Structure 1
Amino acid sequence: MRTHSIRFWSTIALAALGAAGCALKSPPDRASLASEALPNAPAPAAWKAGAAPGSVGDDWIAGFGDPVLNQLVAEALAYNNDLRASAARVEQAAAGVKAAGAQIWPAIDVIGRRGGKMGGDGSGLNGWVISASWEIDLWGRVRYARRSAEDQYASTQADLAAARQSIAALVAKSWFLATEAALQRQLARQMIDTSNQSVKLADQRWRIGASSEVDVVQAQANLKTFVDAERQLDLAYSKSLRSLELLLGRYPGADVKPAASWPRIDMPVGAGVPSELLERRPDIVAAERRVAAAFDRTQEAQAARLPRVSLSAGISSITSEMFVLKDRDNPSASIGAGLIAPLFHGGALLAQVEARKAEQQQAVAAWAQTALKAFNEVETALAEEATLREREPILDAQARDAQKVLDIENSRYRIGSRDLRTVTQQEMSVYAARSTLLRVQAERRVQRVNLLLALGGGFGPGTEIESALQGQEKRP
């Protein structure tokens, strides 16, 4: 009789295993997402703002040809605390995958008991029990939960990749802004020297009677304007260095020494085609994985409305000093199966399905918004870089012309054919032109970083930055 019962439940188990092997439904692919979520924004064949031909490079930091910048980015990727928090979220998601996957396997427990008169328990029961239970995943509920956790893990990995690229971009932009602050301060000091010469010249002319004291006071007022500008630039310089040091995980002591000249940006940037951006940008990939996770949670909620079949088995040995149990010297075993079918839960299960569907729609909308934002960032960066590239030679010529005019006005003032007011006004024009040129030169490099980041450029294998990433992953 026992043999017949074992065969009966074994047949049920085999049938359940066969049913549990059915394929899960696949989440929407990228093409379906684009068709559903971006019906009014199909990706064009090429960027509207125009771009250099070729694919997006893999090592965009090295493209600036600045070894110090490479070292700073590697340092930030190794010690930035925001990245450490992102890495911890990845580890948390990985643990979630393990926990979800464990539900597919049987659960085995052991219980031991020792009782007696001295234990405060008069039953005298002693023994052990080993039990096992296993839910047969007929409708894929458990497997959908596991796959949802896997999708969530993949999204956190993509988020970490996006965070690393963002930190690298912030370091590069902070480095360029610190360089600009240093060059602007240097310019202010040069203008102070020029203004000092004007003060001396005005004083000399006043002493010999060639001009009035008004020229001296005016030259001194102009000098104080440049001195005040230098003080403001000193503060901006130290603030830019402290911001950079925070990204590096250092104490903000303004101890970093910025570059003395601009890094190159003469190399054109290949931008590929817009449709490739959906595959390359890590934030879009993360949003796509969140759509897949929401789809799996929806399927899990739908499967929860269907009956559940579980198998159970146990083996035990129990003795007692108070009463005699049959077969006390031999362990007893059992095997069985259970069926749980939800009949009435007040609409809670259906409401759960509807909530999961709404979450999926929200994830699809978030993916679409992320994709549109990415397209906009690339188009904007391309347009701004083109404009800045055209402006720089214009401003450079303007600054040279302004300096020529200043030299001429200084010569005229020395011979008395011009008053000092014209000279001081031209000094301000030279300073404004050169300062604007430095601002545009810095902005060109900042926009180059924005473009490379918007295109989803990564870190090439074998580089110093990639080595820093590997070291970060090995750190406990």
Structure 2
Amino acid sequence: MLLVLSACSSPPKLMSPQPELPDNWTSAEGSDTEPVSEELRGWLVQLNDPRLQELATEALAANHGLQAARYNVSRSREAVDISRADRLPSLALNLGSTRREDSDRVDSLDFSISLDLDLWGRLSARQRQARLDLAAAEAGLRQQEQSLVVKLGTQWFALQEAQLLLDLYRQRRDNLAQNVEVIASGYRQGLNEALDLYLARNNLHAENARVEQQTQQLAEIRRELELLLGRYPSARLIAEAALPWLETDIPAGLPADVLTRRPDLQQQWLELLSADAALAAAHRDRFPSLGLTSTGLGGSSDALSDLLSLGNLSWSIGARLTQTLFDAGRKASLQDQALARRQELEQRWLEAVYAALAEVENALSLRQSLLERHAQYLEAQRNAVHAENLAFEQYQKGLTSYTTVLEAQRRSFDAQTSVLGLRRQLLQNRIELYRALGGTFQTDLPTTEPEQEPAGQ
């Protein structure tokens, strides 16, 4: 009977998901497709911002969410030890004492050993599941570390942009205040109209309000960064550096490389393997369990001093074969539940793979668009600044109206803010591309890779 059962002990066959991958990125035709491991190592250093590197070190040590993820890894590591212990013999020492109404006290002592022989590999499947859960937790920790540094870098450059915008608004406010003084002086001399003075004052008050709004936004960004650093959100973090300009591009490599580099995809793949091991364990749990038991030093005595005497000692050894005859389909349902879980994770992994590839495609195409827009707005900024200065000079000479000055000022302001915004977006796009391609902010890429084929045991 055991031979017949062992022949039927294989779980449902695993259909390993195989995503369809192109040979190259559609958004990077003609680009470098060589391996990019060197370019993706230590991308935090490549951003050329030493202060950001210092903040990343602080965040990795103090961020509360990251600390929680490390405890989760420790919990998974203990689960591996538990699964390993289930496959080893268990020893128990029992010392008891009873007293009945019509007799003296009776003491008993026995020492027992029990071992599950794991005939069908159920315990080994559970142990493999625990090891895969640990590997998935470690990949999840790497993913959280990566996400933390990515978010930190994005917010850091947003802080720099906010600080530069605040400086621009203050400079514009000071210029408008000077314009008000010039127009007011001309109005008192009868050279300018009252409408021009009202419009100039309106612009000045609006710019004062914009300075206050930007000051508040700057404080909020500082607090978000301080929370990432594990600090109290006091809004005291200062960004001194300007937005850096990165000349070189990142080689995109091959789409297939993303599957083995990104820790989030590794985590989901390991979770799929863990679900496969759980299915194997659920399937094998439906078959008989075989175990050994041994008892020594067993005996009882009405005197504790006589309990360990040689004449009172005994031992026994036995085997047990246990099989559930009827459980209303509970174990079959547990196996079907594990199968559905595995099939769900297969589809979620495929979904995550295509979503990851889409992130790379979007980041590659966005960079080209941002570079073109940045070049155009740089030229627009140069022209707009010249036009603003020329318009005010012509207004002072009476050659143009003040509405022309206002329009020139608006265009100059829009061009300058757009250039700053595009500089920040280019840096954000660079960080996003590093993340999407599976780069690491550390100097070395992870050496462990997920298993390539689920067990299907």
Query: Same-fold call, TM > 0.5?
Result: yes
Is 1:171 paired with 2:158? Answer: no
Which AA in structure 2 matches 1:437? V
Q: 2:133 aligns with which of 152, 155, 176?
A: 152
Residues in 2 aligned to 1:352 and 1:115: alpha-carbon distance in whole angstroms: 42
**2:448 corresponding residue in structure 1:** none
Q: 2:183 aligns with which of 202, 206, 210?
A: 202
Which AA in structure 1 matches 2:106? L
RMSD: 2.7
Is 1:44 paired with 2:26? Answer: no
1:311 positional shift: 0.7
What is the 5 A alignment of 1:35-184?
A: 35=18, 38=19, 42-50=20-28, 51-54=31-34, 55-56=36-37, 57-114=40-97, 122-184=103-165
| Paired residues of 1:271 and 1:455 also in contact (CA < 8 A) | yes
Is 1:226 paired with 2:207? Answer: yes
1:96 positional shift: 1.0
Provide the secondary structure at the position in 2 that maps to 1:190: helix
Residues in 2 aligned to 1:367 and 1:421: alpha-carbon distance in whole angstroms: 59
- Percent identity between matched residues is 27
Which AA in structure 1 matches 2:92? D
Residues in 1 aligned to 2:278 and 2:398: alpha-carbon distance in whole angstroms: 86
1:326 positional shift: 13
1:259 positional shift: 3.0
| Paired residues of 1:76 and 1:249 also in contact (CA < 8 A) | yes
Which AA in structure 2 matches 1:60? W
Provide structure 2 residue ranges, at least 5 long, that are not aligned to the other structure: 446-457
Is 1:320 paired with 2:301? Answer: yes
1:24 positional shift: 9.3
1:103 positional shift: 0.8
| Paired residues of 1:125 and 1:318 also in contact (CA < 8 A) | no
| Paired residues of 2:288 and 2:324 also in contact (CA < 8 A) | yes
| Paired residues of 1:115 and 1:126 also in contact (CA < 8 A) | yes
1:445 positional shift: 0.8
CA deviation vs aligned residue, 1:166-218 (integer Å, no higher than 9, x gap): 00000000000010100001111111122122112211221222121221111
Residues in 2 aligned to 1:326 and 1:259: alpha-carbon distance in whole angstroms: 80
| Paired residues of 1:123 and 1:322 also in contact (CA < 8 A) | no
Residues in 2 aligned to 1:115 and 1:346: alpha-carbon distance in whole angstroms: 40
Provide the secondary structure at the position in 2 that maps to 1:315: strand
Provide the secondary structure at the position in 1 that maps to 2:26: coil
What is the 5 A alignment of 1:323-472?
A: 329-461=311-443
Corresponding residue pairs, total: 435
Which AA in structure 1 matches 2:340? A
Q: TM-score, normalised by structure 2?
A: 0.89
1:335 positional shift: 0.9
Provide structure 1 residue ranges, at least 5 long, that are not aligned to the other structure: 1-14, 464-476
Which AA in structure 2 matches 1:270? P
The alpha-carbon distance between structure 1 residues 185 and 325, as it changes in their structure 2 partners (threshold 3 A), is closer
| Paired residues of 2:298 and 2:315 also in contact (CA < 8 A) | no
1:305 positional shift: 1.2
Is 1:190 paired with 2:168? Answer: no
Which AA in structure 1 matches 2:181? K
Provide the secondary structure at the position in 2 that maps to 1:337: strand
